[in-house]
């Protein structure tokens, strides 16, 4: 069996390497004619592929192959190979998946992909920023791609990774980019001793010209967009909870596929203490995950769970000793990231899709209730109290 698999792998690789290489069906650029790559750029890219220092892997080679065919011959125009002709059928599927993409757009996507591959194979950093991704506006978020994993890291350790308004925008952009990049898995984690202390409470102190009402309106709109990105995220989404988690960083865990936590982590949703109400679809996901009374204890009374308790309630997938947490979790994720990405994406779709409509409705309702809450005396007093250092949760 192993011999057969080895022969298959060798044939598969040489089959692809023998052909000019190529983009994801996802992430194809739709560009105006003025921005498209010339034939010369394309020819250069075809030559460049042969000079790549590292083997880009079969997935990428397949993309290169499909884009090359589309760019040179147009939409797939040959009969589908038989079921048992694995290699040619896979190549045909990849080409056929490009549908009616124009030759010019395929050429551009091929050139872009090769340029990303060349840049990453020249990068000296073991955890290089994804070359095709616009980096976040501030240093408070760091996005990297390596080994088939895109990692979105909250990077404000001095403030326990509290989420500023800019960070919400940057996370939205990072998730949108990750949904289209070549990684198989996306991870959210934190720098320093905390995973995240939730919404930065000073966000509420930057009052716009329209006053409190306008602040609440725009925060509710941003919250809704932010949570929608998690609901719609198409690839496996993993939380690597490296320390305590508070507020919205806890509630959105119900929208992740897998949650790994250090035994130092805790999970705290002190909404009533803050005069606020649940968000991140937790009013729906938490009762489903842990039952209504356990969910009520967390969401109404702000009961803080230890990592072990959160795991027993089903909010956390697995807890690791803090000393080996990073090593164990990343080794496991690297192994998972080698699994066929399309199979994982499709399986996630089957698991999640029937819930999506419901989750969007819940998100809309929670955001609208919070819009009112943020204008309440209870909420204003709690935030003033935190800011004046009278209260710590």
Ligand X SMILES: CCCCC/C=C/CC(=O)SCCNC(=O)CCNC(=O)[C@H](O)C(C)(C)COP(=O)(O)OP(=O)(O)OC[C@H]1O[C@@H](n2cnc3c(N)ncnc32)[C@H](O)[C@@H]1OP(=O)(O)O
The Cα–Cα gap between 300 and 170 comes to 30
The Cα–Cα gap between 161 and 308 comes to 22
Cβ 210 to ligand X shortest distance, Å:
16
Give residues 3-42 in contact with ligand X (rule: CB under 6 A).
Answer: none
Q: Does 202 interact with ligand X (rule: CB under 6 A)?
A: yes
Q: Does 185 interact with ligand X (rule: CB under 6 A)?
A: no
Give the contact letters, 133-162, x = binds to ligand X (CB under 6 A), - = no. --------------------------xx-x
In the list 248, 315, 329, 359, the residue contacting ligand X (rule: CB under 6 A) is 248
128 vs 201 by CB, closer to ligand X = 201
Cβ 184 to ligand X shortest distance, Å:
29
CA dist list (Å): 311 to 95, 193, 221, 324: 44, 20, 32, 18
Q: Please, are residues 183 and 148 in contact by the beta-carbon 8 Å criterion?
A: yes
Alpha helices in the chain (DSSP H): 2-17, 39-50, 58-73, 86-96, 103-122, 165-180, 211-232, 248-251, 282-290, 292-299, 307-312, 325-336, 341-373, 377-387
Residue nearest to ligand X (CB): 247
CA dist list (Å): 127 to 27, 102, 247, 346: 22, 34, 29, 28
Give residues 264-303 in contact with ligand X (rule: CB under 6 A).
Answer: 270, 274, 276, 279
Only segment of 44-52, 93-101, 172-180, 199-207 that touches ligand X (CB under 6 A)? 199-207
143 membership: H or E segment, kind and range: strand 141-146
109 vs 277 by CB, closer to ligand X = 277
Cβ 221 to ligand X shortest distance, Å:
8
In the list 142, 219, 319, 359, the residue contacting ligand X (rule: CB under 6 A) is 219
Residues that bind ligand X (CB under 6 A): 159-160, 162, 168, 197-203, 219, 222-223, 246-248, 270, 274, 276, 279, 386, 392-393
């Amino acid at each position: 069996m192993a011999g057969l698999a080895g022969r298959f792998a060798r044939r598969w690789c040489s089959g692809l390497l023998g052909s000019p290489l190529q983009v994801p069906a996802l992430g194809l650029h739709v560009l105006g004619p003025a921005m498209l790559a010339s034939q010369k750029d394309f020819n250069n890219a075809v030559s460049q592929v042969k000079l790549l220092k590292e083997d880009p892997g079969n997935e990428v080679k397949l993309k290169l192959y499909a884009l090359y065919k589309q760019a040179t011959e147009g939409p797939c125009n040959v009969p589908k190979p038989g079921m048992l002709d694995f290699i040619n059928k896979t190549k045909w599927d990849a080409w056929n998946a490009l549908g009616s993409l124009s030759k010019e757009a395929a050429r551009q996507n091929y050139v872009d992909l090769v340029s990303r591959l060349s840049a990453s194979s020249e990068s000296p950093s073991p955890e290089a920023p994804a070359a095709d991704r616009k980096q976040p506006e501030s240093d408070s978020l760091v996005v990297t791609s390596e080994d088939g994993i895109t990692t979105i890291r909250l990077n404000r350790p001095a403030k326990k990774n509290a989420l500023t308004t800019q960070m919400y925008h940057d996370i939205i952009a990072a998730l949108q980019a990750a949904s289209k990049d070549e990684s198989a898995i996306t991870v959210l984690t934190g720098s320093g001793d905390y995973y995240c202390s939730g919404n930065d409470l000073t966000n509420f102190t930057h009052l716009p010209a329209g006053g409190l009402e306008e602040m609440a309106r725009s925060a509710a709109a941003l919250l809704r967009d932010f949570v929608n990105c998690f609901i719609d995220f198409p690839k496996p989404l993993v939380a690597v909870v490296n320390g305590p988690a508070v507020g919205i960083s806890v509630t959105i865990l119900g929208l992740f596929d897998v949650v790994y936590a250090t035994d130092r982590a805790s999970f705290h949703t002190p909404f009533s203490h803050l005069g606020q109400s649940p968000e991140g679809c937790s009013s729906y996901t938490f009762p489903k995950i842990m039952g209504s009374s356990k969910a009520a204890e967390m969401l109404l009374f702000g009961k803080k769970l230890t990592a072990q308790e959160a795991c027993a309630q089903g909010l956390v997938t697995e807890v690791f000793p803090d000393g080996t947490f990073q090593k164990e979790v990343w080794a496991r994720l690297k192994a998972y990231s080698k699994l066929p990405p399309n199979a994982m994406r499709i399986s996630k779709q089957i698991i999640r899709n029937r819930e999506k409509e419901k989750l969007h409705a819940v998100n809309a309702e929670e955001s609208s209730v919070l819009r009112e809450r943020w204008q309440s005396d209870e909420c204003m007093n709690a935030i003033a109290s935190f800011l004046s250092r009278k209260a710590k949760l």
